[in-house]
Chain A
Amino acid sequence: MQINPHLGISQLNVHIGDQQILKNININFPNKAITAIIGPSGCGKTTLLKTMNRLIENSRGVNITGKVLINGQNIYDDYEDLTSLRKKMGLLAQRPTPLPMSIYANVVFGLKLHGIKDEKILQEKAEKYLRIASLWDEVHDRMRDPASKLSIGQQQRLCLARGLAIEPEIILCDEPTSALDPISSKKIEESFNELKQEYTIILVTHILRQARRLADYVVFMYLGEIIEFGPAKEIFENPKEQLTKEYIGGLIS
């Protein structure tokens, strides 16, 4: 599809215990676009996402074969250092996860981990990414307040800003709006629409309408396999696979 994908997966199989969770996954995610991963719950979407930044290894009894390539390098053997791998990817979790510290400290947490100490740079970046996550106006005068005081929707935007601040190339999102009210969800979605100019976004979602609104490409997964992958328009309007048709049509869920 393209010459140099940021993120590609080849022949990936994941077993947890004696259960096979992901079956022979092959895909190259399009650069600087939103790819939505859809499929019924339990089909392996979260697991797939976690193989991309190696969080999956923290589960017990995991066995991974195959490759996940970032800029051509297999993250399972070329990257010694998880920190530098994870610097390339931001993760937005299902529920907001404010760190137990101030709003400001949350945004610059990753930057500090990566060795940036200059207070002026930290402040500039904090402002920049809070603006991108459209949270700046709401928090600029109370940056030293604990992040836990924000509303759930604000917290999720804070987490987005925090992830963006480490300046990744790829953003991984696992149902990032499922805990949010409609207005906050809309704000997050609007951010994604802007962010796709510069980032490769992988968005796991179980909300089909969200995928329709946002996705440039869609991956449909079922029982640990990729059933179909293609431009969003094709998947939604003219799916090739029977299973995809049934899922889009609401026959399976």
Chain B
Amino acid sequence: MMKHKYFKKLEEQFFFGLMQLATVTILFGLLFILFTILWKGIPNLSWEMISQKPQGGFYMGGGGGILNAICGSLLLGLGSTILGLLLSIPIVIWLNIYAGQYSRNAVMVRTALDMLWGIPSIVFGAFGFIIMLALGIKASLLAGIVTLTLLILPIMVRGMDEVIKTIPKELHESTLSLGATRWEMATRVILRKALPGIVTATLLGFGRAIGDAAAVMFTAGFTDNIPQKLTDPVASLPLSIFFQLGSPFEIVRGRAYAAALVLTIIILVISFLSRLITAKYQKHSR
């Protein structure tokens, strides 16, 4: 009896220790990454870096900056996130309100999305590339946006879906009882209620889209210019980082960290802004 108790306590201590270890590892990893980017990035960050396109010989230590990649990444990230929102909102409404949570079609769609979620982005890139070859389309902003949208759609839909699923059935029933149609219920009550979750899912999607290199490598291409139209090729920060890190020149490798810092800041700023807007909007609703 005593022995049993003793082991129970030991067991508890063991798992508690494991939990602490995990927390420390995660925090340490995060801080280490941030620290490295700041340490190596800040000295290389300059106004020229973020306000100019690359000049001749940029990748061999020449002048100019990464404005092409900053603009490109913003266009790719925002474009695919907006397209992703336009697609995922109707899908989650259909999944949760029209199909019924446990209908066979809904289960199938959820399973398919979960499988897509697990597919590495290089596969999306390769898939997009094959389609483009078949259709005779060149690497372009549009192709990049479409590929990224496919990549983040599962993240956005399933993220929103999990939040909407937790909304009590009674809220659905009360809303319908007041005379709302399913559409009115979806748009005026359910989406509103799920807004924080929708924002989180959207940010996850955005972060993935703007940070992904493999999906845009073949589909969006790379260029030193800022695209003027959807059919132009477009640069992106992850690829810019990738190319610069591969350079034999010390100064170019240093700039890669500045580019990484810019990418991190963009994600943080957008994330902060959307949360701020949501909080402000929610003050009056919720």
Give residues in A with beta carbon < 8 Å to B: 50, 53, 55, 58, 60, 82-84, 86-87, 89-91, 93-95, 97, 99-102, 105, 109-110, 113-114, 144, 146, 148, 159, 162-163, 166, 172
Contact = CB atoms under 8 A, between A and B. Distances in A.
B1 interface: no
B284 A144 contact: yes
Contacts of B177: 53, 55, 86, 89-91, 163, 172
B178 A163 contact: yes
Contacts of A144: 284
Contact of A93 (B173, B180, B189): B173
Given A100-B286, A102-B284, A110 B179 contact: yes
A159 B192 CA distance: 18
B174 interface: yes
**On chain B, which size bracket covers the interface?**
20 to 34
A113 B188 CA distance: 11
B102 interface: yes
* Residue with the greatest number of chain A CB neighbours at <10 A, chosen from B174, B184, B189, B283: B174
B192 A101 contact: yes
A93 B195 CA distance: 24
Contacts of A95: 168, 170
B179 A114 contact: yes
Contact of B286 (A89, A148, A159): A148
A54 B87 CA distance: 31
Nearest to A105: B285
A151 B249 CA distance: 65
B179 A83 contact: yes
A113 B102 contact: no
A230 B186 CA distance: 41
15 contacts: A50-B173, A55-B173, A58-B173, A60-B103, A82-B181, A91-B173, A93-B170, A95-B170, A97-B168, A101-B286, A113-B180, A114-B179, A148-B286, A163-B177, A163-B178
Given A60-B103, A146-B286, A86 B171 contact: no
B40 interface: no
Given A83-B181, A99-B174, 20 more contacts: A50-B173, A58-B173, A83-B179, A86-B177, A91-B174, A97-B173, A97-B174, A97-B175, A99-B189, A100-B189, A100-B193, A100-B195, A101-B284, A109-B188, A110-B178, A110-B179, A113-B178, A114-B179, A146-B282, A172-B177
* Residue with the greatest number of chain A CB neighbours at <10 A, chosen from B175, B179, B189, B285: B179
A163 B168 CA distance: 18
B100 interface: yes
Interface in B56-105: 100, 102-103
B22 interface: no
A156 to B, nearest CB: 11
